[in-house]
C-alpha cells in the first residue's frame, strides 16, 4: 500500500509561510523606511498591494510602541520584531518545500517535528495579539496578516501528523533522531535571528544627529502661567508644546508613559491649539474645538489628571468640536462640572491662553505639535517616535532612574 500523501496539509503550511514572509517583509520595510529620520506612509493592509488608508494609524501606533522592536535604547529605532518573523517564516517555507518534495515518504520523526515547530509562530502571535489589545488598544492589519499566516502554518503542520503512524521510521535509533532534532532546532534559531543580527551589525549610529533642532530662548516664568503636569518623581525639567486634540500628542504622551519616564519629568505644557478660533497664526482650524478644550484645561483643578482625561477621550471631543461649540462645551461640563463653562468664557482664561500662544511666538517655535524640550534644547521631531527610547537614554538618562 503506497504511503498516504501529505501534500494538501503541506500546501496549507506553504501558504501560511508565503503569507508570513510577505507580511513580515512589508512590516520590516515599513519600519526600515522610517530609519532615515523622515516621515512615510505605512502599507498596513492584509491585501497585497493595497494603498495606505486611515487604518494605517493602528500600524503607526504599533510601530512607535516599545513592543515593535528590541534594544531600542541601544540602537535608534531598535531591531524590529518583523525581522525575526521574516527569518522564521523563511525556515518554515524551506521545511515545507522539503515535505512537498518527499510527500508520503517523510518519516514519522520529520512529520512530528515539523508539527511541533509549526505552532511556535502561533504562540508568539497569540502573545503579540494580547499585547495589541491590552496595551495598544488597536490591531495593526499587517500584524493581523502575520497572525493569520501563523494560524495557517500551525493548521498545516498539525494536519501533517495524520497517518504519521504508518509513515516510515527512517533515522532508526532514538539517539539519531535526537541529533536531527538538535540540528533542526539550531537551523530554526540561526535562520530566525540572522536577519536581525545582520541589521544590528549594519545599523547607523544616530548619536550625532540628536541635537541641533532648536532651543528655547525665553525660559518659562511664573508670569507665563503654563500648565503644570509634574510627575510623582520630578528630576528633569521638560517643556511641551501641545494641542489637546492632536492625535500625535496623545500618542506621544502614551509612549512617554510606557517608557516609564513621564513620572520623572518636572514638566510644563504650553497649550498650542492648532485652531484659528484663538490661534492667530493659522488661517483655518486644523483641530476645531482645540481652543475650547485648552481653556477647559486651564480651568481644571488638577491639570495633569485633566490632560490625561482629554487624551483618553480625544476622539469623542474632536467629533464634538467639529459638530458645534455648544456640544463640545456640554461634553466638557458633564465631566468637569457646570461652573467650567463660566471659567472657560472668562476674559482671564482667554488672556492666559493667549499668553501661551504669545510665548510660543516669542520663542519662534515651529507651528506644529507635539514639541518637547529637555531643559532648553528641542528634541527633534523624528526622535519622538521610533527613536524615542534611544534619544532619551542619550540626552536625559536620569529620566530612567527610579
pLDDT in tens, 3-12: 678 889 999 9
The pLDDT score that the predictor gives to residue 166 is 62
98 pLDDT above the threshold of 60: yes
pLDDT in tens, 130-157: 988 887 777 888 888 999 999 999 999 9
Pick the CATH number of 7-202 from 1.20.1440, 2.40.420, 1.10.8, 3.40.50: 1.20.1440
Interatomic CA distance for residues 248 and 241, integer angstroms: 12
Tell me the pTM.
0.75
Q: What is the mean pLDDT of residues 286-304?
A: 93
Cα gap 220→356, rounded to integer Å = 10
Contact 313, 280 (CB under 8 A): no
With cell 535509533, the residue in question is: 173
Architecture, CATH, for domain 222-400: 3-Layer(aba) Sandwich (3.40)
CA-to-CA dists, residue 177 to 14, 94, 109, angstroms? 24, 20, 7
Whether 203 shows a pLDDT value over 90: the answer reads: no
CA atoms of 383 and 368, how far apart (whole Å): 15
Report helix, strand or coil for 198. helix
Q: What is the pLDDT of residues 28-86, one digit of tens each?
A: 887 877 777 766 666 666 565 555 555 566 677 777 777 888 888 888 888 999 999 99
Give 82's contacts (C-beta < 8 A, 6+ positions apart).
24, 25, 27, 28, 31
Cell of 125: 502571535
Spell out the alpha helix ranges (H) of 271-396.
290-299, 303-312, 314-323, 325-336, 339-344, 347-362, 388-395
Q: Looking at the chain, which residues constitute the CATH 3.40.30.10 domain(s)?
A: 222-400
Cα(398)–Cα(30) distance, rounded to whole angstroms? 32
| Chain region(s) in the chain for CATH 1.20.1440 | 7-202
> Which residues are 372's β-sheet partners?
240
Amino acid at each position: 500500500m503506497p504511503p498516504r500523501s501529505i501534500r494538501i496539509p503541506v500546501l496549507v503550511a506553504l501558504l501560511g509561510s508565503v503569507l508570513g514572509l510577505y507580511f513580515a517583509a512589508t512590516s520590516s520595510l515599513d519600519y526600515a523606511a522610517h530609519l532615515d529620520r523622515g516621515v512615510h506612509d505605512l502599507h498596513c493592509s492584509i491585501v497585497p498591494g493595497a494603498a495606505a488608508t486611515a487604518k494605517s494609524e493602528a500600524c503607526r501606533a504599533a510601530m512607535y510602541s516599545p513592543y515593535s522592536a528590541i534594544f531600542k535604547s541601544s540602537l535608534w529605532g531598535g531591531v524590529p520584531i518583523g525581522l525575526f518573523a521574516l527569518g522564521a517564516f523563511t525556515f518554515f517555507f524551506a521545511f515545507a518545500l522539503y515535505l512537498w518534495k518527499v510527500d508520503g515518504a517523510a518519516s514519522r520523526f520529520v512529520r512530528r517535528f515539523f508539527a511541533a515547530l509549526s505552532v511556535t509562530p502561533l504562540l508568539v502571535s497569540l502573545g503579540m495579539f494580547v499585547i495589541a489589545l491590552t496595551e495598544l488598544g488597536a490591531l495593526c492589519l499587517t500584524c493581523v496578516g502575520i497572525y493569520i499566516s501563523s494560524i495557517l502554518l500551525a493548521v498545516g503542520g498539525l494536519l501533517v501528523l495524520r497517518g504519521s503512524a504508518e509513515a516510515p521510521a527512517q533515522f532508526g535509533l532514538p539517539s539519531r533522531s535526537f541529533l536531527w532534532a538538535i540540528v533542526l532546532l539550531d537551523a530554526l534559531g540561526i535562520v530566525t535571528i540572522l536577519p536581525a543580527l545582520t541589521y544590528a551589525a549594519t545599523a547607523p549610529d544616530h548619536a550625532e544627529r540628536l541635537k541641533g533642532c532648536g532651543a528655547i530662548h525665553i525660559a518659562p516664568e511664573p508670569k507665563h502661567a503654563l500648565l503644570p503636569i509634574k510627575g510623582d518623581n520630578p528630576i528633569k525639567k521638560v517643556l511641551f508644546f501641545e494641542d489637546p486634540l492632536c492625535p500625535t500628542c496623545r500618542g506621544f504622551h502614551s509612549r512617554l508613559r510606557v517608557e516609564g519616564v513621564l513620572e520623572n519629568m518636572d514638566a510644563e505644557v504650553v497649550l498650542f491649539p492648532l485652531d484659528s478660533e484663538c490661534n492667530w497664526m493659522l488661517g483655518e482650524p486644523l483641530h476645531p474645538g482645540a481652543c475650547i478644550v485648552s481653556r477647559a484645561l486651564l480651568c481644571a483643578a488638577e491639570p495633569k489628571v485633566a490632560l490625561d482625561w482629554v487624551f483618553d477621550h480625544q476622539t469623542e471631543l474632536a467629533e464634538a468640536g467639529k459638530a458645534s461649540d455648544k456640544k463640545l462645551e456640554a461634553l466638557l461640563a458633564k465631566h468637569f462640572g457646570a461652573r467650567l463653562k463660566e471659567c472657560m468664557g472668562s476674559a482671564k482664561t482667554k488672556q492666559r491662553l493667549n499668553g501661551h500662544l504669545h510665548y510660543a511666538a516669542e520663542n519662534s517655535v515651529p507651528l506644529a505639535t507635539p514639541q518637547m524640550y529637555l531643559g532648553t534644547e528641542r528634541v527633534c521631531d523624528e526622535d519622538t517616535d521610533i527613536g524615542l527610547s534611544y534619544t532619551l537614554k542619550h540626552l536625559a538618562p536620569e529620566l530612567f532612574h527610579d
